[in-house]
Structure 1
Amino acid sequence: MIKSDKTEKDIIKRFSGLNLNIKLYTMVLALVAIWIIFSVATDGNFITPRNISNLLRQTTVTGILAIGMVFVIIAGQIDLSVGSLLGLTGGIAAILNVWYNLNGLVSIFVALIIGILLGLWNGWWVAYRNVPAFIVTLAGLLVFRGILIGISKGYTIAPLSTDFQFIGQAYLTPSSGYILGVIAVFLVIYLVLNSRKTKAKYNLELPPLWIDMLKIAILIFFIGLFIFILNLYRGVPLSVLILLILMLVFSYISSKTVFGRRVYAIGGNVEAAKLSGIDVKKITLILFALNGLLAAFAGVLLTSTLNAASVSAGQNAELDAIAASVIGGASLSGGVGTVFGAVIGALVMASIDNGMSMLNSPPFWQFVVKGLILLIAVWVDVISKNK
């Protein structure tokens, strides 16, 4: 009987891992299919180095928002205020830089601090006053947008100083890009081999060595292709590099730290998490603070890229971030999701916008298509849970 129970647990464990991998691979294949369709429809213009560079830059804002949002969703919460928070923090940074002639880096730093404080404000109401996150962040959506309109007096604030523009408009030199690629290759090799070493240390099931070698080879190929294509235009955009660094940092936090495991535990079963000694309120407060920081980061990048701040900045950005997280495999019921998946989901959203714009499709079709993709993603999640 004991042996039978153990076998059943092994089967469930393997099926869960397989199900997660299938979701990830399906999402990547869907992205490849979207790129192929738009490439054919645009006679190859979609995959030109210039458009690929522009597409990745378009992904950065939604991608950064999605990184913060996926943590909140994994914990079983939601944040509808990030779009307005993005606009407000970007507007504050621009006002300090343009109207008060404050240094660009100092203006950015102040905006990031304000993002953390407003994230803490949301988290305090959710964690310590037990107000539903939907209501708290819906109020934040309205309040933050209203403050932005009030302090900017409805004006578009521009132009920014050169040091402010740098973060959103700069590119790495080709040689710097290749050096970055070499570093990434060594990092990939280290992470894959270290993962094998850790599994072997704890007597966990190891995949065949050839599978890991194949994984390394594929990743090296795509890293090289990525750097090569971007160098054909102007080099790797600094904003894209920032997104990649944030993705790696928060992927590590979610999968390799106690904090990350506790976030998953809270989303999986909050009562069990409390009984196991996890300070749910503290974790929730930190999550919303991190989400506020990343929203401010996205606001600064958007403002820098556009060389201006306006009252409409970030409108509906919260919906794109939620959609990117769900398309990337996160479950709105909590406990499931990855940072990598959220960024891929953001890339899917940006690809649809970019491709349909190149085809001169009416703007309303972009909303229709993204809405249908979101609906299908949630439906697939429901089916997989039932199975």
Structure 2
Amino acid sequence: MSTAPTDTGAPPAAPLEVKPPRRISFNPRQSGIYVAFALIVVLFSFLTGGALLEPQNISNIIVQNSYVLILAIGMILIIIAGHIDLSAGSVVALTGAIAAVLMVNLHVPWPLALIITLIAGAAIGAWQGYWIAYFGIPAFIVTLAGMLAFRALTLSVLGNQGIGPFPDPIRTLSNGFTDGYLGNVALGPLGGADLVSLLVGIVAVAGIGVTQWRKRSARMGYLQEVDPLPLFLLKFGGAGVIVLCVVVQLARFKNLPWVLVLLTVLVLAYSLVMTRAVFGRHIYAVGGNLQAATLSGVKVKSVTFWIFVNMGVLAALAGVIFAGRLNQAGPTAGNAFELDAIAAAFIGGAAVQGGVGKVVGAITGGLIMAVINNGMSLIGAPSERVMLVKGLVLLAAVAFDVWTKRRTGGLKAG
């Protein structure tokens, strides 16, 4: 006995369609930090009569704040995972002291001394990571203890005095500039600029364009909304013009600082880790929802341990660069560096609760702090006013993050 097919009355399934590009809109959480950075640069350019954007001053901003930007890269990973590190400045001082003893007192060849110093930074990070990840002590307490202990060790290693001078390659990494291999090219009223630096800038802009276009194409392939093509080209064009302008100004002075080359490599590498690697996704998962990450099979303790090891290595690198810039390791090195790195991460878009943040955002936050420091110094503002402005900017950034979360939540709930 056969049964006739029944008609359920359900309409046939519609084929999947690619979502059209969204209308032009502004996402304050994603783009607000970059708009704020641009406005701050314009403001201080006006207040300083254009001195802020002079080639030598732009170079000084990068070189003088390179170690804080390096720390910010490590700090953003820790904050995304829902932790904090208060010992970074003391680790900078201790590892700088270790490098000085090895290179200056013991005459260890600088490449070997640099490797030993980075290993020492990793060991410091592993020490703190163990107590946090496997013993369960909050990171705030462990790193607060580390801030005191590592500062005391610094004083013991240095004997409460500075050690220097450092070898020429270390000073070159901290303060030096790339050579002009192909000579200068004329840029009209701007004078001459190093050809190699200009080519590097053009390649960097082309790389940004290819990366963003592939990202846009991938989103369209997954039927996700993307910016309209005119808006995409406008964003890319704006970023490309800014990068080229900075490169031109640097090429007009003394070419690209070596520390900027190092920073670029670090930013690209860590951005790839956080966006493409499994370890990066696990960091976001741990900070976003610890219980869900644990149930999903994420090795939470291992992730926590390794982000602190990574922080120790980056702090050691920053310690060597800072000591090389001053040409000596001092007992007061690194004071409040951890606060600048934490401020850079939060100003750059990291969430207090964890789970949110980008490496590029942390670098942007660090540059905002650097421009404020430099701009207010150029206009002759007293140090207490500089600290007041930086504190207000940090408070405003966190308040803005909380406000946008509440606004977004309210819209979703409605």
Taking structure 2 as the reference length, the TM-score comes to 0.86
1:175-254 to structure 2, matched below 5 A, reads: 175-254=195-274
SS in 1 for 2:107: coil
Alignment match of 2:142 (pick from 136, 140, 143): 136
Tell me, in whole angstroms, the C-alpha distance in 1 between the residues paired with 2:390 and 2:131: 32
Name the CA shift for 1:214/1:232 in 2 (closer, same or farther; >3 Å): same
Once the 2 structures are TM-superposed, how far is the Cα of residue 129 of structure 1 from its aligned partner? 0.2
Deviations 1:29-79 (A, max 9, x none): 222222222222222222211111101222311111111001100110011
Once the 2 structures are TM-superposed, how far is the Cα of residue 181 of structure 1 from its aligned partner? 1.6
Match of 1:291 in 2: 311
Residue 309, structure 1, aligned to residue 315, structure 2: no
Aligned partners of 1:24 and 1:328 also within 8 Å: no
Residue 95, structure 1, aligned to residue 101, structure 2: yes
Match of 2:77 in 1: 71
Once the 2 structures are TM-superposed, how far is the Cα of residue 343 of structure 1 from its aligned partner? 0.5
Residue 263, structure 1, aligned to residue 283, structure 2: yes
Residue 365, structure 1, aligned to residue 385, structure 2: yes
Tell me, in whole angstroms, the C-alpha distance in 1 between the residues paired with 2:49 and 2:237: 30
Alignment match of 2:63 (pick from 57, 77, 85): 57
Residue 279, structure 1, aligned to residue 282, structure 2: no
1:155-170 to structure 2, matched below 5 A, reads: 155-170=161-176
SS in 1 for 2:65: helix
Match of 1:153 in 2: 159
Residue 47, structure 1, aligned to residue 53, structure 2: yes
Residue 119, structure 1, aligned to residue 125, structure 2: yes
Name the CA shift for 1:280/1:110 in 2 (closer, same or farther; >3 Å): same
Alignment match of 1:335 (pick from 355, 358, 370): 355
Q: Greater helix percent: which structure? A: 1
State the one-letter code of the partner of 1:149. L
| CA RMSD between the two structures | 1.7
Match of 1:352 in 2: 372
Aligned partners of 2:122 and 2:309 also within 8 Å: yes
Deviations 1:332-366 (A, max 9, x none): 21111111111011001111111122222221222
Tell me, in whole angstroms, the C-alpha distance in 2 between the residues paired with 1:46 and 1:216: 24
Match of 1:319 in 2: 339
Tell me, in whole angstroms, the C-alpha distance in 2 between the residues paired with 1:28 and 1:216: 13
Tell me, in whole angstroms, the C-alpha distance in 2 between the residues paired with 1:48 and 1:386: 41
Bigger Cα displacement from structure 2, 351-360 vs 127-136: 351-360
Deviations 1:145-182 (A, max 9, x none): 11110010011111111122121122123233123223
Once the 2 structures are TM-superposed, how far is the Cα of residue 200 of structure 1 from its aligned partner? 3.5
Name the CA shift for 1:299/1:287 in 2 (closer, same or farther; >3 Å): same
Tell me, in whole angstroms, the C-alpha distance in 1 between the residues paired with 2:164 and 2:345: 32
Match of 2:401 in 1: 381
Once the 2 structures are TM-superposed, how far is the Cα of residue 287 of structure 1 from its aligned partner? 0.7
SS in 2 for 1:313: coil
Name the CA shift for 1:222/1:115 in 2 (closer, same or farther; >3 Å): same
Once the 2 structures are TM-superposed, how far is the Cα of residue 210 of structure 1 from its aligned partner? 3.1
Aligned length: 370
Tell me, in whole angstroms, the C-alpha distance in 2 between the residues paired with 1:239 and 1:70: 20
Match of 1:3 in 2: none
Tell me, in whole angstroms, the C-alpha distance in 2 between the residues paired with 1:27 and 1:218: 15
Residue 25, structure 1, aligned to residue 25, structure 2: no
Bigger Cα displacement from structure 2, 369-378 vs 194-203: 194-203
SS in 2 for 1:386: helix
Aligned partners of 1:24 and 1:341 also within 8 Å: no
Tell me, in whole angstroms, the C-alpha distance in 2 between the residues paired with 1:203 and 1:38: 42
Tell me, in whole angstroms, the C-alpha distance in 1 between the residues paired with 2:226 and 2:50: 41
Match of 1:11 in 2: none
Segments of 4+ moved more than 6 angstroms? none
Structure 1 unaligned residues grouped into runs of 5+: 1-13
Once the 2 structures are TM-superposed, how far is the Cα of residue 371 of structure 1 from its aligned partner? 1.2
Tell me, in whole angstroms, the C-alpha distance in 1 between the residues paired with 2:394 and 2:278: 31
Tell me, in whole angstroms, the C-alpha distance in 2 between the residues paired with 1:37 and 1:237: 26
Aligned partners of 2:170 and 2:321 also within 8 Å: no
Deviations 1:7-30 (A, max 9, x none): xxxxxxx9xxx88x4234322222
State the one-letter code of the partner of 1:58. Q
Aligned partners of 2:273 and 2:280 also within 8 Å: yes
Tell me, in whole angstroms, the C-alpha distance in 2 between the residues paired with 1:362 and 1:226: 28
State the one-letter code of the partner of 1:175. L
Once the 2 structures are TM-superposed, how far is the Cα of residue 212 of structure 1 from its aligned partner? 3.0
Tell me, in whole angstroms, the C-alpha distance in 2 between the residues paired with 1:217 and 1:28: 14
Q: Percent identity?
A: 39
Tell me, in whole angstroms, the C-alpha distance in 2 between the residues paired with 1:85 and 1:372: 27
Structure 2 unaligned residues grouped into runs of 5+: 1-21, 181-193, 408-414
Tell me, in whole angstroms, the C-alpha distance in 1 between the residues paired with 2:53 and 2:236: 25
